[in-house]
Amino acid sequence: MNPMGSLPSALHPSALRALLSTEATQRYRVNASPVELRAPEGAVRMEIDWDDGLSTAYRHEILRGFCPCATCQGHHGPVRWVEPPQSASLVLGSLEQVGNYALRLSWGDGHATGIYTFQFLRELASHGEAAADDVRELRFMR
Ligand SMILES: [Zn+2]
């Protein structure tokens, strides 16, 4: 019996790199940090380049709907989709780094209590450009 179970005996290095650079990276490399942020005025999505080479993009609606602040989410339970109210702005005001672990996003309507950890942004990355209808059931640990 092979004690190594189902490990492939000969995975070509390039195949391994491809594996590590796609979905696996987004899911498991959760300690990455942004090296560049792009949220130009008038844009409807924010883009992040990470220090491990991954680039991710988030529609503003997705960021606002998953605003992790206590006002939006309450104090308990996972972060879930909260339909942005009619009065909510999807215009990003300022982006401010918090310590070395998070970004604070300020919206055009003055809502500025959302602190998005880098880890949360990585977990959200594979849904960053999804339609709202496709993310309503998602939950994220906090
Ligand atoms: Zn909020």
* Domain extents in the chain: 60-140
Instruction: For residue 32, report the distance from its CA to the centre of ligand 1, in Å.
Output: 24
Instruction: For residue 30, report the distance from its CA to the centre of ligand 1, in Å.
Output: 22
> What is the CATH number that goes with domain 60-140?
3.30.2020
- By C-alpha distance, which of 44, 66, 61, 45 is closest to 138? 66
Q: Write out pLDDT tens, residues 31-90.
A: 789 999 998 888 899 999 999 999 999 999 999 999 999 999 999 999 999 998 888 899
Instruction: For residue 50, report the distance from its CA to the centre of ligand 1, in Å.
Output: 24
pLDDT band at 106 (very low <50, low <70, confident <90, very high): very high
Instruction: For residue 115, report the distance from its CA to the centre of ligand 1, in Å.
Output: 8
Greater confidence (6 vs 77) lies with 77
The span from the CA of 139 to the CA of 118, in Å, is 17
Q: 0.85 exceeded by the pTM?
A: no
The span from the CA of 64 to the CA of 82, in Å, is 8
Alpha helix positions (H), 47-117: 60-65, 70-73
Instruction: For residue 70, report the distance from its CA to the centre of ligand 1, in Å.
Output: 7
Instruction: For residue 113, report the distance from its CA to the centre of ligand 1, in Å.
Output: 6
Mean pLDDT over the full length of the chain? 85
The span from the CA of 66 to the CA of 114, in Å, is 9
Instruction: For residue 51, report the distance from its CA to the centre of ligand 1, in Å.
Output: 27
The pLDDT of residue 63 is: 97
